[in-house]
Amino acid sequence: MKIDKGIPLAPFAIKKTKYPWRDMKVGDSFFVAAKAASIQALRSAAYQAARYHKTGYAVRSVGGGYRVWRTK
């Protein structure tokens, strides 16, 4: 295998996500309709996002769906 030298590192591609984790500030929230996701799936996504972004999220059932708040 040939070794190449002087090749610049390609930029990191930011993956698009279903939920706006990166754009949220502490106290912000978003609503997800109940038919769009189950509460277990949403809590799992919030848990993974919190670990990745080193933040905190709370998921609560509200009329007709779920609301996710950034807490940390």
pLDDT mean across residues, the chain: 92
Task: Identify which of 4, 15, 41 has the alpha carbon closest to the alpha carbon of residue 32.
Answer: 41
Band the pLDDT of 66: cuts 50, 70, 90.
Answer: very high
Would you say residue 15 has pLDDT above 90? no
Residue 43 near residue 34 (C-beta atoms within 8 A): no
Q: What pLDDT score was predicted for residue 9?
A: 87
pTM of the model as a whole: 0.77
Would you say residue 11 has pLDDT above 90? no
